[in-house]
Amino acid sequence: MIKVGIVGGTGYTGVELLRLLAQHPDVEVEAITSRSEAGMGVSEMYPNLRGHYDGLAFSEPDAERLGHCDAVFFATPHGVAHALAGELLERGTRVIDLSADFRLRDADEWANWYGQPHGAPQLLEEAIYGLPEMHRDKIRKARLIAVPGCYPTAVQLGLLPLLEAGLIDPSQVIADCKSGVTGAGRGAKVPSLLAEASESMKAYGASGHRHLPEIRQGLGDAAKGQVGLTFVPHLTPMIRGIHATLYGQLTSEPGDLQALFEQRFADEPFVDVMPAGSHPETRSVKGANVCRLAVHRPGNGNTVVVLSVIDNLVKGASGQAIHNLNLMFGLDENAGLAAPALMP
């Protein structure tokens, strides 16, 4: 059995890790940390996990105890993994970070977007960006994984085939994205209250969002050059889910776009290219580690529209983290992740 630890287990991504790992045949959760809830039993905080983690309690973060794990997940705010990741790597423990700490390759750019100096710039060169559909071979050999953000996952998967094939103008890419309220985290915030978020929708971060440089970096890798991206996120009155509507301008006759997408993702267990003319719904991926895509060419014109949906807590976070774990330890990629989505 692979022994894992979870740092920051009381947030939405932490409990989602616990839920998914409860059905993983090859993993045992050895430690879970929370400074604020140290001593509380996991099943006491999360009754849905009763019978799965009844002997496990939250504890203070301790590098020595975590260092006995084969891998440690960081389900923490940005800046936390900086302090512990290096020490754990020295002890031989692999690190899978769900925060933004190691996603950007440029430490100065990270500092600019996150408002503080990067705490572990010496580790950036080693960190592998954990989007399996792009970096599967590197992930298998990695010690340190930067799990992609939720918006970046939905946007990159939707645009990869077009940019890799050189079919759209990389300087004119638009990502119009909507997210459920869990994307804001579990902390108590007035904009996340039911009376504030229900029956309303709003854009935010239109002039600059922290996920923008991450998306540009990944799309630039696919396009092998700079990408001009307009990215506007929106908050929608739902709990889970991301819907990304993506626009690109064709530079030449593209041929069969449906076939392009189907061939690009034919061997990907967690990307579902839907039949031509489809409009994927966020409810179709709720609780599942799946990205569902549909590609359209309205009026047979010069604009390509890609629709991409994921569960922000699963394919956009914890499920993708476990997919990385499976690759790192040579396990079946589907282990712990095979459950279908919840409907209704």
Please determine, for residue 173, whether its predicted confidence score (pLDDT) is greater than 90: yes
- Which residues lie below 8 Å from residue 172, measured CB to CB, with a gap of 6+? 228, 248, 249
Cα 238 from Cα 221, distance rounded (Å): 32
For residue 152, cis peptide bond before it (omega within 30 degrees of 0): no
Please determine, for residue 255, whether its predicted confidence score (pLDDT) is greater than 90: yes
- Select from 143, 117, 119, 114 the least CA-distant residue to 130: 143
The owner of tokens 């309220």 is 181
Ranges in the chain annotated CATH 3.30.360.10: 150-312
Please determine, for residue 343, whether its predicted confidence score (pLDDT) is greater than 80: yes
Amino acid identity, residue 39?
G
DSSP assignment string, 235-303? E-SSSS-EEEEEEEEBSS----HHHHHHHHTTT-TTEEEPPTT----GGGGTTSS-EEEEEE-GGGSSE
Fold of the 150-312 domain: Dihydrodipicolinate Reductase; domain 2 (3.30.360)
> Rounded mean pLDDT of 127-135?
98
319-328 helix and 12-21 helix, angle to the nearest 10 degrees: 50
The owner of tokens 């891998």 is 71
Domain range 2-126, CATH architecture: 3-Layer(aba) Sandwich (3.40)
Ranges in the chain annotated CATH 3.40.50.720: 2-126
**Chain-centroid distance, C-alpha 106:** 20
Cα 286 from Cα 53, distance rounded (Å): 23
Please determine, for residue 188, whether its predicted confidence score (pLDDT) is greater than 80: no
Please pick, among 69, 150, 177, 291, the residue that the annotation labels catalytic.
150
Bridge partners (DSSP) listed for residue 246: 175, 306
150 is catalytic: yes
Q: What is the pLDDT of residue 311?
A: 98
> Rounded mean pLDDT of 110-136?
97
Please determine, for residue 163, whether its predicted confidence score (pLDDT) is greater than 90: yes
Amino acid identity, residue 41?
G
What burial letters (b/e) apply to 181-201, b meaning 16+ CB within 10 Å?
Answer: bbbeeeeeeeebeeeebeeee
Q: Is 174 exposed, middle or buried (0-12, 13-18, 19+ CB in 10 A)?
A: middle
Q: What is the pLDDT of residues 267-280, one digit of tens each?
A: 999 999 999 999 99
Q: Where are any strands of DSSP class E within 60-116?
A: 71-74, 94-97
Bridge partners (DSSP) listed for residue 233: 177
Q: What is the pLDDT of residue 21?
A: 97
> Rounded mean pLDDT of 151-161?
98
